[in-house]
Amino acid sequence: MARTQGSHSDITGPRIRAAALRLFARHGFAAVSMRQIAGEVGVQAGALYNYTPDKQSLLFELMRDHLQDLLAAAPKAAPGDTPLARLEAFTRFHIRFNTERPEEVFIAYMELRNLAPENFREIEALRTAYEGRLQRILRDGVEAGDFRVCDPQIAAYAVIAMLTGVNTWFRQGGRLSLDEVETLYWDMVRKSVAS
């Protein structure tokens, strides 16, 4: 016989994660209690533990899912794509993906300090895999003679930091459309690795 909460878990689980994301982004992980998360969802605090073992798991899952989604959505190179075309696709993708998820991005950077060591290692590995995609593009461009990059690892850090920075100032309905922003950043990224 199915347990009672089973019939609700499909919607309650995502609602708990959404509430945790909102509260962590607003107040910081350490300041938020399981009781507050339950209150935001409208369930008893005890009921939360049917869905998640603890607050640390909620944080870890939010960060892991964000990075797994990022890796799954990142553009794949088609045969014949030049490193330049791949770099442009990466640049535009990174800006679009991250500006659509300001709270996830904020948490992914801010709350690394609050991850348990084994969770930190897993999140680091996902982040490194994503940075590796950009490093691959940069190395291929250097080999092809299209780019001049002294240190592809550092160049990848630099480009990703520049692009993620859009989140700190971009607002929909502001002076520039997202497409205009992408084009401005692409101009700078392209030149920054030029030979």
Question: What residues make contact with a copy of itself under the rule CB under 8 A?
Answer: 26-31, 109-110, 113, 150-151, 154-155, 157-162, 164-166, 168-169, 176, 181, 184-185, 187-189, 191-194
> Can you spell out the DSSP letters for 142-170?
HHTTSB--S-HHHHHHHHHHHHHTHHHH-
In angstroms, the CA 129 to CA 89 distance is 17
To a copy of itself, the closest distance from the beta carbon of 18 in angstroms equals 18
In angstroms, the CA 138 to CA 83 distance is 7
User: Count of H helices and E strands in the chain?
Assistant: 10, 0
Q: 83-99 and 55-73 are packed helices; what angle lies between their axes, rounded to 10 degrees?
A: 140
- Quick one: 32 or 43, whose CB is closer to a copy of itself? 32
Signed CA dihedral, 41, 73, 145, 182: sign only: negative
- Quick one: 123 or 193, whose CB is closer to a copy of itself? 193
How is residue 93 written in tokens? 């993708």
- Quick one: 51 or 88, whose CB is closer to a copy of itself? 88
- Quick one: 4 or 168, whose CB is closer to a copy of itself? 168
- Quick one: 41 or 156, whose CB is closer to a copy of itself? 156
To a copy of itself, the closest distance from the beta carbon of 160 in angstroms equals 7
To a copy of itself, the closest distance from the beta carbon of 193 in angstroms equals 7
To a copy of itself, the closest distance from the beta carbon of 169 in angstroms equals 6
